Amino acid sequence: MRFETRAIHDGQEPDPLTGAVTVPVYQTSTFRQDGIGRPRGYEYSRTDNPTRRALETALASLEGGSHGLAFASGVAATSAVLSLLRPGDRVLAGDDLYGGTYRLFERHFRPWGLRIDYAPAEDSEAFLSALTDDTRLVWLETPTNPLLRLADIAAVSEAAHRCGARVAVDNTFASPWLQRPLELGADLVVHSSTKYLGGHSDLIGGAVVVTDPELHRKLKWHQNAVGAVPGPWDCWLALRGLKTLALRMEAHCRNAQRVADFLAAHPAVERVHYPGLPDHPQHALAGRQMRGFGGMVSAELAGGFPAVERFVGALRLFFLAESLGGVESLVCHPARMTHAAIPPSERRRRGIGEGLVRLSVGIEHADDLIADLDQALAAAGGGPTTGRSAKGDAT
């Protein structure tokens, strides 16, 4: 079956009791058993729940894996993957990554005993040269947050496996509609299902998908023992979101391309980060390993933080907010919002400046979004739109 069909049907058979075509919300903490040691398939909802199992089955199908696990948040999913390691193990991560992941790495797992190094994942030669025989996990975001850089998943996976390391890919920005890392050689796929999977800014959740049964067994043990699981209502909301994922991602990509082209030609914008721009350094790679270029666009405004403050204050359709991937358009200032946990000197080294804004482009009409951006840029002091050609991402 094709992706769109699996998104609606896999794990989501009609209810055998009533014939309801939507998976019920099994809002229960425990399940009656027919005798001691004789459960009917479920015992306690921390361990397993029918609504959660439906979501996990659907996620595994869409990512091309055999096992899915749902967690209470994306950070909980990330923590579960890192908990596969032991003190002294080495992690190699891309150096452009979500601030919450950096915080988890540096303030929890490094003191716990992991050795964590960073390298530019978009530079395959530099990144692969940082692989060593004692590396046990490679952590990739691709596209990255917030600079929309790409890593070559197939090349990194091949090299990592030669070193005896597993590869985990945070696929939140792309979603399985645009990119399936397991099919490119990765071992684990991680999501904040809060974002594109749910798609409506009304749930918090995370997910891990694998193909290795032993990895699944270890992660399942962790999921039950630690208990960072989503409730059945959030699982139901995520299932509902998956049904329209393909349609929404097509609209996100279409609108983001229009927005990126507009911003790249605007005099108030110094640089645009979007893989769909022809002069993005990994534009060709994006064309190979992704179905489309995604719904996230980052831009650096001329005038720095004062211009950013005026810009976000003038926006009407783009809401200033954390998160991304919903049907509505959002804007954030990474340096003071999503990536504030990274020290300022480290942010600057990684290219996250005070003039950078990150746009989660929604599925509103593109003309309305561009009009909103145009008037906000004018308010920021950028003057009228010009017909200059797109500058694109020069990093």
Per-domain residue ranges of the chain: 3-243, 247-379
Does the pLDDT at position 385 exceed 70?
A: no
Catalytic residue among 6, 10, 46, 115: 46
Active site residue 279: no
Does the pLDDT at position 394 exceed 50?
A: no
How would DSSP label each residue in 325-357?
Answer: -SSS-EEE-GGGTTTTTS-HHHHHHHT--TTEE
Catalytic residue among 166, 180, 195, 271: 195
Among 97, 63, 71, 255, smallest CA distance to 178 is for 63
Q: Residue 383: its pLDDT value, please?
A: 58
Active site residue 26: no
Q: Residue 320: its pLDDT value, please?
A: 98
Q: For residue 16, give every residue at least 6 positions away whose Cβ sits within 8 Å of its Cβ, in sequence order, or none.
A: none
- How far, in Å, CA of 275 to CA of 264, rounded? 12
- At 300, list the tokens: 């650096």
Interval 61-87 mean pLDDT: 98
The CA-atom distances, in angstroms, between 199 and each of 7, 219, 242, 248 are 14, 25, 8, 8
Give the DSSP H/E element, type plus range, for residue 115: strand 115-119
Does the pLDDT at position 388 exceed 80?
A: no
Interval 2-12 mean pLDDT: 97
Among 333, 336, 344, 342, smallest CA distance to 102 is for 342
Q: Residue 381: its pLDDT value, please?
A: 86
Q: Residue 159: its pLDDT value, please?
A: 98
Interval 215-240 mean pLDDT: 98
Active site residue 102: no
Pick the CATH number of 3-243 from 3.40.640.10, 3.30.1490.20, 3.90.1150.10, 3.90.850.10: 3.40.640.10
Interval 214-220 mean pLDDT: 98
Neighbours of 62 (CB within 10 A): 24
- How far, in Å, CA of 280 to CA of 195, rounded? 24
For residue 73, give the DSSP letter: S
Per-residue model confidence as pLDDT tens digits over 366-381: 999 999 999 999 999 8
Catalytic residue among 170, 187, 234, 372: 170
The domain covering 247-379 belongs, at the CATH homologous superfamily level, to: Aspartate Aminotransferase, domain 1 (3.90.1150.10)
Does the pLDDT at position 387 exceed 60?
A: no
Q: Residue 382: its pLDDT value, please?
A: 66
3-class secondary structure, 82: helix
Catalytic residue among 89, 90, 98, 271: 98
Active site residue 195: yes
